[in-house]
Amino acid sequence: MPTTKVVVNIPGESAYDVRVGAGALDRLGQHVRATAAGGKADRVLVITDSNVAPLYLAQAKRSLAAEGYRVSDITIPAGEDSKSIAVAGEIWEAMAACSLGRDCVVVALGGGVVGDIAGFVGSTYMRGVSVVQVPTTLLAMVDSSVGGKTGVNLSAGKNLVGTFNQPTYVCADINALSTLNEREWACGCAEIAKASVIDSDDFFFWLLDHANQLAARDEGVVQEAIVRSVVFKADVVAQDQTESRGVRECLNYGHTLAHAIEKLSGYGTYSHGAAVAEGMRFAARLAADLLGTPEELVETQDELLDALGLPALSWSASPADMLDAMKRDKKARGGQVRFVLPRDVGNWELVEVSDDILRAHLQQWTASKA
């Protein structure tokens, strides 16, 4: 099946290609060479993690070397803990030690963790070098590799330091997904489901019709789901690159409850995707109550999430603790919890929900888990 090219065109930024499909990694070198910065560069640094390195680093380096690049690589430990200033510092030092100049290209080969830290390091080293994203998780292909948010975590919270810096090319080779476990697969599916509800009837009902095939990793359906998600994300980012125009917030659908679940259940207990799916179920019910959203949306969204292998969680916490966690979330404003709520598929609103209403809904939610 041929690869698909999506062009991301953000006002004020250079346009870049996202190449989606099987075999794209073998042509990484060629496509990097075709970018403006890659055309002039002769050094490339590949940043990857300890799980991805044994699987895809040699293939990526081979493709880059075939285009005449001198290729170096750095492998960081897999996992969220690597998204730190300490690891960023080690990478900056290593880049300087091997005399990488302003004209080098940084390639981020891995999931969202590698993408975020490599994007951050690349956007700050010598005040910014070209960054190419090679996402290897479904979540990174459909979400984090496109849109230019980079970052590292502080002990006070996730992604508290970072930049907005668009990549110059994104290479999403779906062959790389063959080694991804079910938990990580479902994380990507949750973000695809989120995008479909926010985007349109066309995306949502297509996904509903193909959810079983996506869960079974049918190649054609996987490719189309990624392409549709990338087109959606690129469109949102084109309207609001820096989350200052009230559009990019829509990407937070399902995440308000999810962040509280992840925090109170202990990070890693439930995957981010499982928590986001639960957050979407909660938000749709809140929307039905507050905005008159059709019950049909609540039900079909449940059906979609079930089919994608994202069942309702049996876990819950006390409404008081959940409310407290949500009020402390960095997306809350002045202690007021805000939810992205769907009025209908393809029609959303950012709604400040009063503590009393939220408490009542959390009580219902907790009771439903008993």
Ligand X SMILES: NC(=O)c1ccc[n+]([C@@H]2O[C@H](COP(=O)([O-])OP(=O)(O)OC[C@H]3O[C@@H](n4cnc5c(N)ncnc54)[C@H](O)[C@@H]3O)[C@@H](O)[C@H]2O)c1
Regarding 259 and contact with ligand X (CB under 6 A), the answer is no
CB 99 → ligand X: shortest distance, Å? 28
Q: What is the DSSP string of 184-248?
A: HHHHHHHHHHHHHHHH-HHHHHHHHHHHHHHHTT-HHHHHHHHHHHHHHHHHHHHH-TTS-SSSG
Active site residue 210: no
- What is the size of the binding site for ligand X (CB under 6 A)? 29
Regarding 340 and contact with ligand X (CB under 6 A), the answer is no
Regarding 116 and contact with ligand X (CB under 6 A), the answer is yes
Q: Given candidates 37, 95, 100, 113, which one binds ligand X under the rule CB under 6 A?
A: 113
The alpha carbon of 124 is separated from its chain's Cα centroid by a whole number of angstroms, namely 21
Which residue's CB is nearer to ligand X, number 80 or number 349? 80
CB 299 → ligand X: shortest distance, Å? 27
Residue closest to ligand X when measured from CB atoms: 112
Residue among 132, 125, 107 at smallest CA distance from 48:
107
Which residue's CB is nearer to ligand X, number 152 or number 337? 152
Active site residue 149: yes
DSSP β-bridge partners for residue 164: 149
227's CB contacts (< 8 A; 6+ apart) are 4, 6, 20
What's the distance, Cα to Cα, between the start and end of the chain in Å?
48
Regarding 112 and contact with ligand X (CB under 6 A), the answer is yes
Task: Specify whether the CB–CB gap between 260 and 322 falls below 8 A.
Answer: yes
Q: Given candidates 9, 14, 30, 179, which one binds ligand X under the rule CB under 6 A?
A: 179
- Antiparallel, parallel or unpaired: β 337-344 and 347-353: antiparallel
Regarding 137 and contact with ligand X (CB under 6 A), the answer is yes
Regarding 224 and contact with ligand X (CB under 6 A), the answer is no
Regarding 52 and contact with ligand X (CB under 6 A), the answer is yes
Active site residue 259: yes
Active site residue 272: yes
Which residue's CB is nearer to ligand X, number 53 or number 358? 53
Residues 58-87 that bind ligand X (CB under 6 A): 78-80, 83
- Count of other CB atoms within 10 angstroms of residue 134: 32
- In the DSSP assignment, the letter for residue 12 is T
Task: Specify whether the CB–CB gap between 255 and 158 falls below 8 A.
Answer: no
The alpha carbon of 134 is separated from its chain's Cα centroid by a whole number of angstroms, namely 13
Q: State the catalytic residues.
A: 127, 149, 191, 233, 243, 248, 252, 255, 259, 272
Residues that bind ligand X (CB under 6 A): 49, 51-52, 55, 78-80, 83, 110-114, 116, 136-137, 139-140, 143-144, 147, 149, 158-159, 176, 179-180, 184, 187
